[in-house]
Amino acid sequence: MEKRKLGHSSLEFAPIAFGGNVFGWTADEATSHKILDAFVDAGFSFVDTADVYSRWKPGNKGGESETVIGSWLKKNPAKRDKVLIATKCGMDMPNVGQGLSAAHIKRSVEDSLKRLNTDRIDLFQSHRDDKTTPQEETLSTYGELVKAGKLRFIGASNFEAPRLAEAAKIAKEKGLPRYESLQPHYNLMERGLFEGALEDECLKEGIGVIPYSPLASGLLTGKYRRGRTVPTGTRLAEARFAGLLAERNLALVEALTGFATARGHTLLELAVSWLLSRPQVASVIAGATSPEQVRLNTDAAGWRLTPAELAEVDAILARNA
């Protein structure tokens, strides 16, 4: 299986990362353990979560996903060295706070280590930018934690290009840890959120990109068609995602599905493979709520689009722009 590296780090992993936001939300602890077993047993290793997952579920307060991963590691201590654990801080945690100040990062790291039942975090990420805290303070704090062995590498999520460039400059000038990765909202349907200045900065600095929402909130699973009612309970049934179901997008889904089907693949496989064809993409975050879905996601990494196929996809996108 192909292995990739993240930025200038020594982290090596298969091209699919597991999105742990489902743990403690749409997957209970027992199911989550089965999912993690299926993922690791298939030869994959990169598990991504955050301290704030999944506080949005009624009754949750944040930390549920990390706690589930921690209980799995407690049951399977030999698997700790088989997984790369990535988590984040910076979003608002009840009774804890938010941001990227030294105090908040240090408390967040200790809390995450405890919940995850581990002594180190392979990739610790700034979940979102904090413009109220100097970036040198943030990076210096990460430097202390790396030296202490609690963190191995750091990454960023939801940063704008100028701030990512500023962080890279500070890291170089001050000899501090650099962001080895960026998690942007990026997929075949929503390219403008990343392509342009942000993509250019990642290429310039050799920052590995780990896209989230690779299936455009479910639109690129192939489940949604023109003339069909959106199933209740799905993400696209929520009002805030209604724009994704515009006629233009549904027509594009139809065209892309035809392209994939003609080659013996699914739309999901096309969505993942297209992202993995981008030179700066290190891994694609894909969630699952069952071991069967894990298999579908990991299988999707097996299609390598040829230059001719990529050109045809570009033509389809241009025709439906």
pLDDT band at 239 (very low <50, low <70, confident <90, very high): very low
pLDDT confidence band for 246 (50 / 70 / 90):
confident
CATH at residue 201 = 3.20.20.100
Is residue 131's pLDDT more than 60? Answer: yes
In a domain, 61, yes or no: yes
Render pLDDT for 176-222 as a digit per residue (tens, 0 to 9): 999 999 999 999 999 999 999 999 999 999 999 999 999 998 899 87
Q: Is 212 a catalytic residue?
A: no
pLDDT tens digits, residue range 47-69?
Answer: 999 999 999 999 999 999 999 99
Q: Which domain holds residue 64?
A: 4-218+270-303
Full-model pTM? 0.94
Per-residue pLDDT at 237: 43
Lowest mean pLDDT among 1-5, 22-26, 95-99: 1-5
Asked whether residue 182 is domain-assigned, the answer is yes
Please confirm whether the linkage preceding 126 is cis (ω < 30° from 0).
no
> Is residue 321 situated within a structural domain?
no
Domain count along the chain:
1
User: Which candidate in 53, 142, 179, 186 is catalytic?
Assistant: 53
CA angle 208, 212, 215 (to 5 degrees): 130
Q: What is the mean pLDDT of residues 14-36?
A: 96
Instruction: Give CA–CA dist 121/33, Å, rounded.
Output: 19
Structure tokens belonging to residue 238? 């929520």
Position 25 in a domain = yes
CA distances from 34 to 28, 253, 258 (A): 10, 32, 34
